[in-house]
Amino acid sequence: MNALLRVLESLARIFSDQREIKIKESGRNVFHIHGNTIYVSISPEFELSDEEKLRIIVDALNHECEHINLGFTKRKLEEFIRETGYGPLSRWVLTIVEDHYTDFSRLKKWRGLKKARALFSKLVMEREPPVNIFPEREAALRGLYMINYSGFAKGEELVSSKLKKFFELARNCLLEVRAIHDFDSRKEVANFLLSRILSFGPKNLIPSDDLDWKIDFQICSGYSGIQTEFTEPDKSLDVNLDLDKIMEWNSVDDLTPSGFEKSIMDNIYSLETEFRKQEKLMKIVAKRDMRIDPNKKPIVPESILNELVNTLERIKTEEYFLESEWGEEVNIRNYLRRYCGENNLNLYYSMKPSDTGGRAILIALDLSGSMKDKIDETIKACHIVAKSAEILNDKIAAFGFQEKTGAVNFTKITPIKLWHERYRPEFFTGLDVSGNTPLREAILEVKDWLDPIAARQKVAMVFTDAEP
């Protein structure tokens, strides 16, 4: 969960023109804005696949970020409520109008999310009961709400001629709103629609606060009247859903994920995995940093280090593309990661000629008791390998292994240097040398460390005396 929120926070920076926005999970399961924090619903109240759920969450986050970009605030809603005097009814009419403008403003910039908006519109229309079962004032409001998403009100063919005229008027008004870039002018449209809704009865209707789970500014309007509650629709009263109209209103041909959505979802899955790993690694690194002693670095003659570097330089790789600040080809993955808030990424690939480097070298160090008299010299050898690997632009990681004995024997793996870290000689200090040699388990651990690493070659070096 924390990983997903961190990814959404990175996306929010992109969607909001690099503003610093915090993302928190909503306790009310709704999206809403409070100051510089967007509260997100991680579990939308629809039956969705994991992919659909993620599409809806990203689309709703993009929607809320556009509210921030456009400066639509709780204060503006409260002012409209005071000016009109109709509490939640005023609130929802202005919110629906602003939502419609917000969606069509953001989708000019983020066209790849049009299908996600259309998918959400379909879900809304499937859940909403037809307007013909409600009193006319509530039917008018719910119809306006549905037209915002789909261009029609479910069940509108079964209502009075007066309501039909209102729905046609609402459609035309919302189409005009898409091109009205001045908030005060949009507020006039909302006021006009509100006046038409007020021409219907009952006179003291208050709509439910939960009309739309995507919009919630935590406003108490102080208006009293008959509170309506959302009820699950009676399926026997349901009417056919016109999916073609929904797609036409949202300017899409189908509801499958766009290429843009797929790239975002792939990147989210990837970053979620990385963030989860980082959370685990932070605990590992904290323990390791308590162990190391900067004053006890292994010291080896420079000549020995140079000799190994010269030897390894003769083992060359094929030509291949290397991540670079400038180059011949675009690094799509790093571009997406940059969009999600990561810095210091190389955005291109450059052709690297036949050379050393590009390998992943893993050191597995035996820390069993039989190594006690040999550990200092072995650590010097590990240090030479690690240092020369970094000089040659190879990736390097290291761990220690031993079997601890007691009431229950167990294999202990001690992380020494992780793949993403810059090598420091003190990583090999403060190691506990005791126990037995679990060589089979060490080889299995080697596989786990090397499998996820992308490299031209993968090399494991096991430093052991092979004694129990």
- DSSP states along 92-140: HHHHHHHHHHHHHHHHHH-GGGHHHHHHHHHHHHHHSPPGGGS-HHHHH
Domain parsing of the chain, residue ranges: 2-262, 294-304+358-468
Tell me which residue of 459, 431, 271, 287 sits closest to 358, measured CA to CA.
459
Burial letters 370-409, b for 16+ CB under 10 A, else e = bbeebbeebbbbbbbbbbbbebbebbbbbbbbbbeeeeee
**Residue 41 CA: distances (Å) to CA of 45, 52, 58, 274, 363:** 9, 14, 10, 22, 44
Do residues 359 and 457 touch, judged by C-beta distance below 8 A?
yes
Tens digits of pLDDT across the chain (468 residues): 567 887 888 889 889 887 888 999 887 778 888 888 898 888 777 888 888 999 999 999 999 999 999 998 888 988 999 999 998 899 899 999 999 999 999 999 999 999 999 999 999 999 899 999 999 999 999 999 999 999 999 999 999 999 999 999 999 999 999 999 999 999 999 999 999 999 998 887 766 655 554 444 444 444 444 444 444 445 445 567 899 999 999 999 999 999 888 888 877 776 677 667 667 777 777 888 888 888 887 877 777 777 877 776 665 555 445 566 556 566 777 767 766 776 656 666 655 544 456 788 999 999 999 999 999 999 999 999 998 888 887 889 999 999 998 878 899 999 999 887 888 889 999 999 999 999 999 999 999 899 878 787 899 999 999 776
Burial letters 277-309, b for 16+ CB under 10 A, else e = eeeebeeeeeebeeebeeeeebebeeeebeebb
Which residues are CB-neighbours of 193 under 8 A, at least 6 positions away? 93, 97, 144, 169, 170, 173
What would the CATH number be for the domain defined by 294-304+358-468?
3.40.50.410
Question: How much is the pLDDT for 153?
Answer: 96
Question: How much is the pLDDT for 211?
Answer: 55
Question: How much is the pLDDT for 230?
Answer: 41
Question: How much is the pLDDT for 220?
Answer: 42
Token pair of 224 as six digits: 């009293």
